[in-house]
Amino acid sequence: MVLKYLIRENAYYDSVTLMIITREVKKIEGVREVIVGMGTELNKELAGNLNLLTPELQGITPNDFFISLDSIDDNIAKKAFAFVDELLSRKKEESEDYQPSTFESALKYMPDANLVLISLPGKYAAREAKKALLNDKHVMIFSDNVTLEEEIELKKLAKQRGILMMGPDCGTAIINHVALAFANVIRRKNALKDGGTTVTGQVVENVGFVKCLDKVAKDIEWDKRVKKVSKTKYRGKGIAGMYKAPSMPNNVGSSAIVKINEDGTVNLLVTAMDLGQGSDTALTQIAAEVLTIPVSKISIITGDTDCTPYEWQTVASRTIYCCGNSIIRAAKDAKKQLLRLASLKFGIPEDDLELKDGQVISKIYSGKKVKIADLAMGLTMPDGSGIHGPIIGRGAFIPPDVRDTDKETGQGDKPVAFWTFGVQAAEVEVDIETGEVKVLKIAAAYDVGKAINPDLICVQIEGGIVQGLGSALLEEMKIKEGKVLNPSFVDYKIPTTEDAPEMKISIVEVPEPTGPWGARGIAEACMVPTAPAIANAVFDAIGCRINSLPVTAEKVLKAIMEKKR
Q: Are 246 and 416 in contact (CB under 8 A)?
A: yes
Write the pLDDT tens digit of every residue in 13-63: 777 678 788 888 888 999 989 999 888 887 888 888 888 999 899 888 888
The predicted structure's pLDDT at residue 384: 87
Comparing 147-151, 253-257, 263-267, the range with the smallest average pLDDT is 147-151
The predicted structure's pLDDT at residue 499: 92
Please write down the HEC assignment for all residues of 124-182: HHHHHHHHHHHCCCEEEECCCCCCHHHHHHHHHHHHHHCCCEECCCCCEEEECCEEEEC
Report whether pLDDT(438) > 90: yes
Q: Could you please report the per-residue DSSP string of 386-419? A: EES-S-EEEEEE--TT--PPPTTT---S--SS--
Angle, CA of 529, 531 and 536, to the nearest 5°: 95
d(CA 403, CA 200): 12
CA distances from 151 to 141, 159, 167, 398 (A): 10, 12, 8, 54
Report whether pLDDT(174) > 60: no
What is the rounded average pLDDT of the residues 65-83? 90
Percent of the chain with pLDDT over 70: 93
The predicted structure's pLDDT at residue 16: 67
What DSSP designation does 274 have? -
Report whether pLDDT(185) > 60: no
Percent of the chain with pLDDT over 90: 51
Is the overall model pTM greater than 0.85, yes or no? no
Q: How confident is the model at residue 565 (pLDDT cuts 50, 70, 90)?
A: low
Report whether pLDDT(433) > 60: yes
Average pLDDT, the chain: 88
The predicted structure's pLDDT at residue 2: 82
Supply φ then ψ for residue 477, to 5 degrees.
-90, 120
Q: Please list, in sequence order, all residues whose beta carbon lies within 8 angstroms of the beta carbon of residue 62, skipping any fewer than 6 positions away.
A: 38, 39, 40, 41, 121, 122, 145
* Beta strands at 266-270 and 298-302: parallel, antiparallel or unpaired: parallel
Write the pLDDT tens digit of every residue in 92-117: 555 555 567 788 888 888 888 888 88
Residue 420: beta bridge partners? 244
Secondary structure class of 233 (helix, strand, coil): strand
Write the pLDDT tens digit of every residue in 370-415: 999 999 999 988 888 899 999 999 999 999 999 998 888 888 899 9
Domains and CATH numbers, the chain: 2-94 (3.30.70.60), 103-175 (3.40.50.720), 187-244+409-564 (3.30.365.10), 254-397 (3.30.365.10)
Secondary structure class of 266 (helix, strand, coil): strand
Handedness of CA 221, 225, 226, 227 (dihedral sign): positive
Q: Could you please report the per-residue DSSP string of 464-509? A: HHHHHHHHHHT----EETTEES--STTTS----GGG--EEEEEEE-
Q: How confident is the model at residue 182 (pLDDT cuts 50, 70, 90)?
A: very low
Comparing 121-125, 160-164, 202-206, 241-245, the range with the smallest average pLDDT is 121-125
Higher pLDDT, 530 or 168: 530
Q: Are 315 and 248 in contact (CB under 8 A)?
A: yes
Strand order in the sheet with 420-431: 233-244, 420-431, 437-447, 502-508
Question: What does the radius of gyration of the chain's CA atoms come to, in whole angstroms?
Answer: 32
Q: Please list, in sequence order, all residues whose beta carbon lies within 8 angstroms of the beta carbon of residue 540, skipping any fewer than 6 positions away.
A: 184, 236, 237, 238
The predicted structure's pLDDT at residue 538: 94
Report whether pLDDT(563) > 60: yes
d(CA 478, CA 485): 5
Q: Are 379 and 388 in contact (CB under 8 A)?
A: yes
The predicted structure's pLDDT at residue 175: 47
Higher pLDDT, 478 or 325: 325
The predicted structure's pLDDT at residue 227: 83
Handedness of CA 190, 196, 198, 199 (dihedral sign): negative
